[in-house]
Structure 1
Amino acid sequence: MSASMRTLVRPAVLRTRRGRLIYWSVFAVALVLFTAAFIVPLYWAATGAMKSPSELAQTPPTYLPEVWHPENYAKAWREMDLARYFLNTVVLAGGAWLVQLVVQVPAAYALSKLRPRFGNVILGLMLLTLMMPATALLVPVYLTVVDVPLFNRNLINSPSAVWLPAAANAFNIYILKNFFDRIPDELLEAAKIDGAGPLRTMWRVVLPLSRPILAVVSILSIVTAWKDFLWPLLVLPDPAQQPLSVFLQRVAQDTPLNSLVAGLVMASLPLIALFLVFQRQIIAGLGAGSLKG
């Protein structure tokens, strides 16, 4: 270990038996607590859906179902017609993801590499929206989708009402720009010498090098759109157009509790699977700091 490296625990302390015991004890306790904080709610929901309504509502709760009812999942899927609302959610999340990449990647590339006049001012105004409460932006954004400027179109009950506002995500543009800033300008100059224009350079040079951060932005976009509740509730009043998050809240009062919990579990499974499949890309993208070569 380098002498200049600073850590929370001195190497000399870790070399002692007492120091190692305290260190690993604290580490084990922290690991167990954090794991429990994430796993226990998932376990409680997954097993709660397999209980009867009376057992699920009883106090004190049971840790394991007295009688297992795994058929509650199939019953909830069939009786609540969840396939339709899963499809609605996939359409909204997939469209929001695609629109965000189409808008945010060129915007971040322009701010980072094309360096337009007043680019820093534009970026500052974008970041200013992150300091504002989300509820403060609801009314102006809602008025915009009710009467889109220049086009005079009403987007209510259209997926576009979810897709287009999602593109205005200052956080994604900021992290994309930061990553693009670390791409050596020499690579872009070489592409320019070979006759590539700005768009071709972005497509052929910048995007292949940006796969880790594009994966992070994609996953953040999909997760945000998938679990969003308030905005789809406002712009999609037609029940046939609503995603899972809005539908499950709308039918909560008239649905048996175990069926509702089963629906919530099934609505969460795609996001859990997405993280498990792409966790390596997420960590690589969040830790991407520089390019070698």
Structure 2
Amino acid sequence: MRTIVSPAQLRSRRGRLIYWSLLVLLLAAFTLAFLFPLYWAATGAMKSPGELARTPPTVVPRVWHPESYVQAWQQMDLGRYFLNTVVVAGGAWLVQLVVDVPAAFALSKLRPKLGNAVLGLMLATLMLPASALLVPTYLTVTDVPLLHLNLLNSPTAIWLPAAANAFNIYVLKRFFDQIPDELLESARLDGAGPVRILLRIVLPLSRPILAVVSIFAVVTAWKDFIWPLLVFPDPGKQTLSVLLQRVAIDMPLNLLVAGLVLAGVPMVALFLVFQRQILAGLGSGAFKG
């Protein structure tokens, strides 16, 4: 096997020194590139507004103001908007799993007639820009067909449009395709129906990909801005992303940065807690062609 550095060069002392030196430098550079923005935001919130806006900027605050986080929490009433966002993101996650998992299971293992055509139509929706769907979706949630309900200022205005996610259905279906049919057939011979097979066999085997899909669902709902801005005209029911944009003009810069940092902490914590499941799901082959 031909590589950039031959095995003979790696076995030499000079080759090992150069190899490990470059590897450490590259790892340090990539780590700095990812962590420095987080450091800049976290320390920027602890600067005074004048120091934060000065040119050239200071890498380390001259005077530390950790109370900025407390002031941002109190002045922007972040606790209330955190709760709003948790309700929106949690509901969107639950609704997507309830709808997408059975849909992917049906397309993968039950193989209904015209299943491929249905999947193709679902994937075709991914070709449409999100902005093109705003108006028809908005008209739908303001007057739900048949029910004639107005869902504005209700979390269901976000939950229902997010329910049928074509990307999640495709990813789940690709994972379910890898589950051996013999395993499911043996369960059918024991008298298990489709629902029992899904709950007792498929879901326990699908924890890695369910973790990936869950992260996608929660992060998408947590950081979404345009759609919550449209469906929550009542300021008291808005999410964090809408709040931070609304108060950006009147809020001191350091407090605004503190609010942004606090809004991002749950997503960073979520990744750190479930990183093993996420990496397992990404490496499970569900994304391979």
Common fold: TM-score over 0.5: yes
Name the counterpart of 2:20.
Answer: 24
For 1:203, the equivalent position in structure 2 comes to 199
Which of 68, 75, 83 is the matching residue for 2:71?
A: 75
2:99 to 95, 100, 103: 103
Separation (CA, whole Å) in 1 of partners of 2:3 and 2:172: 30
1:8 offset after TM fit, Å?
Answer: 6.6
Summarize the alignment of residues 144-163 of structure 1 with structure 2, pairs less than 5 Å apart.
Answer: 144-163=140-159
CA distance in 1, matches of 2:180, 2:169: 19
- Alignment match of 2:238 (pick from 237, 242, 245): 242
For residues 1-293 of structure 1, the aligned pairs below 5 Å read: 11=7, 14-17=10-13, 19-289=15-285
Q: Distance in 1 between matches of 2:178 and 2:205?
A: 11
Letter in 2 for 1:225: A
Give the counterpart letter for 2:261 in structure 1.
Answer: V
Letter of the 1:113 counterpart: K
Name whichever of 18-27 and 236-245 sits farther off: 18-27
AA aligned to 1:250 is R
TM-score in terms of structure 2 length? 0.93
Q: Distance in 1 between matches of 2:144 and 2:9?
A: 64
CA distance in 2, matches of 1:143, 1:9: 61
The alpha-carbon deviation at position 136 of structure 1 amounts to: 1.7
- Could you say what secondary structure the match of 2:147 adopts? coil
User: Unmatched 5+ residue regions in structure 2?
Assistant: none
How many angstroms does 1:14 deviate by? 3.9
Describe the shift of the 1:67–1:141 C-alpha distance in structure 2 as closer, same or farther (beyond 3 A): same
Q: Flag the 1:15–1:122 CA change in 2: closer, same or farther, 3 A.
A: farther
CA distance in 2, matches of 1:22, 1:114: 56
Letter in 2 for 1:38: F
**Per the alignment, in what secondary structure is the counterpart of residue 63 of structure 1?**
coil
Distance 1:22 1:169, change over 3 A: farther
Of all paired residues, the percent bearing the same amino acid is 74
1:245 Cα shift? 0.5
Query: Quick check: 259-268 or 139-148, which moved more?
Result: 139-148
DSSP 3-state at the match of 1:171: helix
TM-score (norm 1): 0.92
Distance of 2:219 and 2:249 partners within structure 1: 26
- How far off its partner does 1:34 sit? 2.1
Q: CA offset at residue 205 of structure 1?
A: 0.8
Q: Tell me, which stretches of 5 or more residues in structure 1 are unaligned?
A: none
How many residue pairs get aligned? The number is 286
Which residue identity lines up with residue 31 of structure 2 in the other structure? T
- Flag the 1:10–1:152 CA change in 2: closer, same or farther, 3 A: farther
Q: 1:14 to 1:158 in 2, by over 3 A?
A: same
1:156 Cα deviation (Å)? 1.3
